């Protein structure tokens, strides 16, 4: 990895660690510089502002999340089945504190970045829009078809979000372990939303290709955002 890119990764690692430890409100660029073992000015050779730095942190986490999904689909096209995908996605998010904070709008961790228009969180989340996956599973008839595709997708989304938000909505959360909660979510999705017909291997492979193409493009957008969000032409290798 080129020196400039390696240094940027080290800065992002330091910023992510401090964001989790202290939250956005309390973490300064000075703190990040000390954690990364560099001068404060060096950070500004990569990002113009504190907000741009933390935006890059969260978008990088979004790219990592997408890579988990892509790897699962590459290993088994049946991973695109709604019950499989929601389980994979739930575990990936819940095992990544920054992804979870973005998804549930954790103001304690992300502070004002949660609600300000055009801020870090909306930028990162827009890159993870599920439109491509939703369209693929609806067009591929992986849902039951009892309702319109729009209503089925909306119901599926509300169900999934309920599982993400349960820990903040109820004392003690779901009362189940992480894996068990993921299994219950998958069970509900399979029985309430997923088609009763078993898709053919050919159909699953086709849908997996469409979903992977969408996720690969989104993954590339995330990485490009992290890269181009840095100050262009500064501190050459």
Per-residue model confidence as pLDDT tens digits over 149-192: 889 989 998 999 999 998 888 887 778 999 999 999 999 999 99
Q: State what percent of residues in the chain have pLDDT above 70.
A: 88
Residue 4 has a pLDDT of: 86
Whole-Å CA distances, 127 to 14, 69, 75, 214, 217: 23, 14, 24, 11, 10
Average pLDDT, the chain: 87
The full length of the chain comes to: 237
Q: Is the pLDDT of residue 235 over 80?
A: no
Residue given tokens 């330091």 in the structure block: 14
Q: Is the pLDDT of residue 123 over 80?
A: no
**Rg of the chain's alpha carbons, rounded to an integer?**
19
pLDDT band for position 125 (cuts 50, 70, 90): low
pLDDT digits (tens, 9 = 90+) for 84-94: 999 999 999 99
Residue 116 has a pLDDT of: 54
From the list 130, 109, 131, the residue with the least C-alpha distance to 120 is: 109
Residue 171 has a pLDDT of: 80
Q: SS3 for 22?
A: helix
pLDDT band for position 12 (cuts 50, 70, 90): very high
Answer whether 11's CB lies under 8 Å from 38's CB.
yes
Q: Where are the domains of the chain?
A: 65-228
Whole-Å CA distances, 165 to 103, 158, 168: 9, 10, 6
Answer whether 207's CB lies under 8 Å from 142's CB.
yes
Q: Is the pLDDT of residue 130 over 50?
A: yes
pLDDT band for position 227 (cuts 50, 70, 90): confident
Residue 170 has a pLDDT of: 80
């Amino acid at each position: 990895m080129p020196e400039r890119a390696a240094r940027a990764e080290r800065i992002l690692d330091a910023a992510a660690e401090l964001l989790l430890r202290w939250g956005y409100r309390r973490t300064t660029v000075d703190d990040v510089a000390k954690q990364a073992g560099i001068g404060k000015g060096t950070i500004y050779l990569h990002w113009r502002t504190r907000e741009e730095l933390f935006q890059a942190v969260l978008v990088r986490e979004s790219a990592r999340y997408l890579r988990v999904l892509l790897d699962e689909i590459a290993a088994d096209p049946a991973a695109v089945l709604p019950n499989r995908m929601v389980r994979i996605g739930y575990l990936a998010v819940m095992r990544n504190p920054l992804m979870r904070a973005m998804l549930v709008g954790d103001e304690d961790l992300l502070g004002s970045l949660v609600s300000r228009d055009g801020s870090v969180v909306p930028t990162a989340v827009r890159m993870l829009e599920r439109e491509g996956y939703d369209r693929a599973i609806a067009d591929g008839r992986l849902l039951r078809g009892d309702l319109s595709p729009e209503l089925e997708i909306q119901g599926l989304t509300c169900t999934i979000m309920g599982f993400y938000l349960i820990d903040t909505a109820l004392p003690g959360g779901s009362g189940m372990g992480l894996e068990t909660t993921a299994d219950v979510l998958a069970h509900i999705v399979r029985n309430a939303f997923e088609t009763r017909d078993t898709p053919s291997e050919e159909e699953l492979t086709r849908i997996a290709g469409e979903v992977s193409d969408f996720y690969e493009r989104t993954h590339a957008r995330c990485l490009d955002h992290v890269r181009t969000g840095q100050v262009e032409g500064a501190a050459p290798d």
